[in-house]
Structure 1
Amino acid sequence: MMLLHKTLLFVICLASCYSDATQPIDQVMEKLIKLISEEQILKPVKFKLPVWEKQLGLYRSEIRLDFFDKPYEAELRKNKFIYVFDNNMFATGWISTVLLEANMYGRAPQTIDTEHLSLAFDAIEKFHDHNQNESAVPLMTFWSQIYNATTNTWESAPDNLRYLITDLDKNLLIIEDILKTLGVKNIAQLIDKLRTSSASFKDVFEIPPDFDDTYLNIGFGVQLKLLQDKYPSLFQRWVQTNSNMKKLIDLTLQYAYRPSSQLLDQNTIDPRTYFWLRDFVRDNPQAIIVTTWAQNIAEVRKVAHQGIRMPFNLNNVDVTVGANVLYGITSAMVYDLLDFKTYFTKDMETLYFSTASLIAWSIKNSMKNRPDLAQVYYPSHYNFLWYGSRTLFLLELTRRQQKSLPDVFNRVYALLADVYRNDVVKYFKEHVRSDLSSYDDFLGANDTNIFGKAEPTGEDRIFSTAQTVNVLLASFAYLDANTGKLKWINGSKQIEIVQTMTNRSVSWLLNNSFKYQSFNCFFSGSVKGFNQLPFWYPANTYQYLNGTTFDPNRFDINNQSLVDTIVGVSGYINETIYQHMIEEKHFNVSTPTTFNGYNVPGGEFPFWSSQPYTYSVTLLALAQYNNLDK
Structure 2
Amino acid sequence: MNFPGQLILFLVILFPFIDKSDGFLFKKTIKETLVALSSKVEERQPKEDKKSSLVLPWKLDKGTYESVVKLNFHGAPEMVAIRKNFAVNDNNMFVTAWITACLLEIQALGGEFKPKREQIDLALDAIGKYHDKNVNYNTSVMTFWPQLYNDTVKKWQSTPENLLQLFQLSDKFPVKSVEELLKLMGLGDIATVMDHLLHEKDMFAAAFHIPPDFDDTFVNIGLGSLLKEIPGYSDLFAKWQSTNSNLTSVLHALKRYAYRPHSNNTRVNTIDPRTYFYLHKFLAATNKTDAAFVPTWIQNVDEAMALSDKGVAMPFFVNNVDVTVAANTVNGLTSALLSGLFKPSDFDSDIQHIYKDTVDLIIYEITGNFSSRRDLALTYYPSKLECFWFTSRTLTILRDFYKKAPLPLKMLEDVLQKLEGAMRNKVTADILQEAIKSADGGIYFDDFLGDGDFDIKGNAIKYAEDRLFTTSMAVNTLINIWTSTEGDTLAFLNNTPSSVNETIQQSVKWLNDNILGTHLKPWNAFFSGSGKGQASLPFWYPANRKEYLNGTSFNDDMFPDGLFLVGFEGTLSDEQYNILLSQRHFGEKTPIDFPGFNPRGSPTGFFPFWSSDAYTYSTTMLAFAKYLKIK
- Match for residue 578 of structure 1? 577
Alpha-carbon distance in 2 for matches of 1:199, 1:596: 28
Q: Is the 8 A contact 1:208 1:294 kept in 2?
A: yes
Q: Is the 8 A contact 1:267 1:571 kept in 2?
A: yes
- Match for residue 541 of structure 2? 537
Q: Is the 8 A contact 1:459 1:520 kept in 2?
A: yes
Whichever residue aligns with residue 483 of structure 2, its letter is: A
1:215 maps to 2:221: no
Residue 131 of structure 1, aligned match among 126, 130, 134:
134
Q: Is the 8 A contact 2:104 2:227 kept in 1?
A: no
Task: Please give the per-residue CA displacement for 1:1-25, whole angstroms capped at 9, x wherever unaligned.
Answer: 769x999999989965633512211
1:443 maps to 2:449: yes
Change (3 A) 1:12 1:49: closer
Task: Please give the per-residue CA displacement for 1:542-588, whole angstroms capped at 9, x wherever unaligned.
Answer: 222222222334xx32xx33x62222111111111111111100111
Task: Please give the per-residue CA displacement for 1:518-545, whole angstroms capped at 9, x wherever unaligned.
Answer: 0000000111111211111111112222
Deviation for aligned residue 1:425: 1.4
Q: Does the residue aligned with 1:535 lie in a helix, a strand or coil?
A: helix
Q: Is the 8 A contact 2:140 2:246 kept in 1?
A: yes
1:18 maps to 2:56: no
Write out aligned runs for 1:192-231 (5 A).
Answer: 194-195=197-198, 198-227=201-230, 229-231=231-233
Q: CA RMSD in A?
A: 2.5
- Match for residue 256 of structure 1? 258
1:551 maps to 2:555: yes
Whichever residue aligns with residue 297 of structure 2, its letter is: W
Whichever residue aligns with residue 455 of structure 1, its letter is: I
Change (3 A) 1:404 1:364: closer
Whichever residue aligns with residue 169 of structure 1, its letter is: D
Task: Please give the per-residue CA displacement for 1:58-104, whole angstroms capped at 9, x wherever unaligned.
Answer: 1110000001112232121123xx21000000000000110111221
Write out aligned runs for 1:460-471 (5 A).
Answer: 460-471=466-477
Write out aligned runs for 1:58-69 (5 A).
Answer: 58-69=64-75
- Match for residue 461 of structure 2? 455
Alpha-carbon distance in 2 for matches of 1:242, 1:463: 31
Whichever residue aligns with residue 523 of structure 1, its letter is: F
Q: Does the residue aligned with 1:242 lie in a helix, a strand or coil?
A: coil
Deviation for aligned residue 1:322: 0.4
Unaligned runs of 5+ in 2: 20-24, 179-186
Residue 622 of structure 1, aligned match among 589, 609, 624:
624
Q: Does the residue aligned with 2:436 lie in a helix, a strand or coil?
A: coil
Alpha-carbon distance in 1 for matches of 2:593, 2:190: 33
Q: Does the residue aligned with 1:223 lie in a helix, a strand or coil?
A: helix
Q: Does the residue aligned with 2:289 lie in a helix, a strand or coil?
A: coil
Q: Does the residue aligned with 2:400 lie in a helix, a strand or coil?
A: helix
Residue 295 of structure 2, aligned match among 286, 291, 295:
291
Deviation for aligned residue 1:171: 5.9
Q: Does the residue aligned with 2:218 lie in a helix, a strand or coil?
A: helix
Q: Is the 8 A contact 1:271 1:539 kept in 2?
A: yes
More deviation, 470-479/12-21: 12-21
Write out aligned runs for 1:306-385 (5 A).
Answer: 306-337=310-341, 339-385=342-388
1:43 maps to 2:48: yes
Task: Please give the per-residue CA displacement for 1:263-311, whole angstroms capped at 9, x wherever unaligned.
Answer: 0011111100000010222322222100000000121122111001011
- Match for residue 590 of structure 1? 589
Q: Is the 8 A contact 1:334 1:403 kept in 2?
A: no
Alpha-carbon distance in 1 for matches of 2:218, 2:329: 5
Alpha-carbon distance in 2 for matches of 1:503, 1:45: 41
Q: Does the residue aligned with 1:552 lie in a helix, a strand or coil?
A: coil
- Match for residue 124 of structure 2? 121
Q: Does the residue aligned with 1:259 lie in a helix, a strand or coil?
A: coil
- Match for residue 180 of structure 1? none
- Match for residue 436 of structure 2? 433
Deviation for aligned residue 1:152: 0.9
Change (3 A) 1:66 1:345: same
Alpha-carbon distance in 2 for matches of 1:186, 1:143: 35
Alpha-carbon distance in 2 for matches of 1:85, 1:76: 16
- Match for residue 143 of structure 1? 145
Write out aligned runs for 1:160-239 (5 A).
Answer: 160-170=162-172, 194-195=197-198, 198-227=201-230, 229-239=231-241
Change (3 A) 1:51 1:10: closer
Q: Is the 8 A contact 2:51 2:58 kept in 1?
A: yes
Q: Is the 8 A contact 2:281 2:371 kept in 1?
A: no
Alpha-carbon distance in 1 for matches of 2:258, 2:508: 39
Q: Is the 8 A contact 1:106 1:626 kept in 2?
A: no
Alpha-carbon distance in 1 for matches of 2:55, 2:153: 29
Whichever residue aligns with residue 159 of structure 1, its letter is: E
Q: Is the 8 A contact 1:520 1:610 kept in 2?
A: yes
Alpha-carbon distance in 2 for matches of 1:7, 1:45: 56
Task: Please give the per-residue CA displacement for 1:334-368, whole angstroms capped at 9, x wherever unaligned.
Answer: 0111x443311111111111111111100121111
Whichever residue aligns with residue 453 of structure 1, its letter is: N
Change (3 A) 1:449 1:8: closer
Unaligned runs of 5+ in 1: 177-184
Task: Please give the per-residue CA displacement for 1:185-231, whole angstroms capped at 9, x wherever unaligned.
Answer: 9996585565356344223221100000000000001112123x433
Q: Does the residue aligned with 1:170 lie in a helix, a strand or coil?
A: coil
Change (3 A) 1:248 1:583: same
Change (3 A) 1:39 1:311: same
Q: Is the 8 A contact 2:432 2:500 kept in 1?
A: no
- Match for residue 410 of structure 1? 413
Whichever residue aligns with residue 596 of structure 2, its letter is: G
Alpha-carbon distance in 2 for matches of 1:303, 1:199: 17
Change (3 A) 1:595 1:167: same
Whichever residue aligns with residue 203 of structure 1, its letter is: A
Q: TM-score, normalised by structure 1?
A: 0.91
More deviation, 116-125/445-454: 445-454
1:27 maps to 2:32: yes
Whichever residue aligns with residue 531 of structure 1, its letter is: A
Alpha-carbon distance in 2 for matches of 1:110, 1:254: 41
More deviation, 13-22/509-518: 13-22
Alpha-carbon distance in 2 for matches of 1:252, 1:12: 62
Alpha-carbon distance in 1 for matches of 2:565, 2:289: 23
- Match for residue 183 of structure 2? none
Q: Is the 8 A contact 2:490 2:630 kept in 1?
A: yes
Task: Please give the per-residue CA displacement for 1:141-197, whole angstroms capped at 9, x wherever unaligned.
Answer: 000100011111100011101112124232689xx9xxxxxxxx9996585565356
Change (3 A) 1:171 1:132: farther
Whichever residue aligns with residue 308 of structure 1, its letter is: V
Change (3 A) 1:531 1:199: farther
Q: TM-score, normalised by structure 2?
A: 0.91
Q: Is the 8 A contact 1:257 1:267 kept in 2?
A: yes
Alpha-carbon distance in 2 for matches of 1:527, 1:396: 36
Change (3 A) 1:94 1:172: farther
Q: Is the 8 A contact 2:141 2:249 kept in 1?
A: no
Identity %: 38
